[in-house]
Homo-oligomer: A and B are copies of this chain.
Amino acid sequence: MDIKAYLKEKRELIDSYLRTYFENSSLPSVLRDAMKYSLFAGGKRIRPVLALASYEACGGEPKDILPQAAAIELIHTYSLIHDDLPAMDNDELRRGKPTNHKVFGEALAILAGDALLTEAFFMMTNTNPPLPPLSKGGQGGLFSPDKPVVSPVLQSAVLRVIREIALSAGASGMVGGQAIDILSENKQPDREIVFFIHLHKTAAMIKASVRIGAILSDSTEDKIEALTTYGENVGLAFQIIDDILDIEGTTEELGKSSGSDNNKKKMTYPSVVGLKEARREAFDLVSSAIDALRVFSYRANPLREIAVYLMERRT
């Protein structure tokens, strides 16, 4: 299969959903501009695409879970905006463009992040068919519900998805990882701490992205477990590769300052085990990820190829 064509097609599905969503909205314009600036800055939509591919592996039709998949990108984008803030990583460049606070100021960057995170949970409740409308005065929102019936199975699945994403994005997951990352700067590199940071800051949300595909398709236990292993391993490998690229890539290739981890005395995998060993571990993780998918048919081929693609990427 042509994995690049697959990724492009799925990325366009997500982009098109997000564009329509934000066109229809009546948010205060400056805030909406700040949200859209980072959301449409050219992200690869890896997390939502993993959710779609996972749903497809379980026999589903990707376009049916666009709200839940796209919501993950809102959370990813908010995390980048807040991570780049002067009080955090103090980055000026992201995806080749000035960071959000450089363009809109710190106050609006904080608020744009808060708004994207909150909007993600609203977006996830856009079930298909939609929830029945409530009386005036609060509902309606960006996408008005207009059909009366929701299957109880779908409702339960969407509640589980919200639970999964909140857990993986919050203090027990991504935010917890970022807190330890910030607190570990300038400290002696330590393998266990680096593992904790990668597992929480990056792998938790990637694992959740893959898992929601299985949850929404009401998949069997063995498939959910296989996808959980796949997601965690790919998530860890993804971050190790990121660390390696930060050392080996150029600023132009990366769209952000290369060597910035080292300049900020960040704890990274290569700083603990060396470049060669880091590369070997990423390879092992990707192998284990693909191996976990043996319970799946050809329908999981996109997931298999994405794992290889993410390891071989240069940006």
A-to-B contact residues, CB < 8 Å: 25-28, 30-32, 35, 78, 82, 85, 87-88, 105-108, 110-111, 113-115, 117-119, 121-122, 124-125, 127, 131, 134-139, 141-142, 150, 152, 155-156, 158-160, 162-164, 166-172, 175-176, 178-180, 182-183, 207-208, 211, 215, 221, 224-225, 228-229, 232
Contacts and interface: CB of A to CB of B under 8 A. Distances in A.
A110 B88 contact: yes
Contacts of A150: 156
A176 B155 CA distance: 29
Contacts of A137: 207, 211, 224-225, 228-229, 232
A85 B110 contact: yes
Given A156-B131, A159-B127, A176-B27, A110 B82 contact: yes
A64 B208 CA distance: 29
B166 A121 contact: yes
Contact of A118 (B119, B170, B179): B170
A167 B180 contact: no
Nearest to A161: B125
25 contacts: A28-B176, A82-B110, A87-B107, A87-B110, A107-B182, A110-B110, A111-B175, A113-B114, A114-B117, A115-B170, A115-B171, A118-B166, A118-B170, A122-B163, A122-B166, A122-B167, A134-B164, A134-B215, A136-B228, A137-B224, A138-B164, A141-B167, A152-B152, A155-B156, A158-B159
Contacts of A82: 110-111, 114
Nearest to A222: B135
A135 B224 CA distance: 7
Contacts of A168: 138
A174 to B, nearest CB: 8
A162 B160 contact: no
Contacts of A88: 107, 110
Contacts of A182: 107-108, 111
A85 to B, nearest CB: 7
A167 B179 contact: no
A137 B224 CA distance: 9
A30 B211 contact: no
A67 to B, nearest CB: 12
Given A110-B82, A155-B155, A118 B171 contact: yes
B111 A163 contact: no
Given A118-B171, A211-B137, A30 B156 contact: no
A111 to B, nearest CB: 5
Contacts of A215: 134
Contacts of A107: 87-88, 182
Nearest to A223: B135
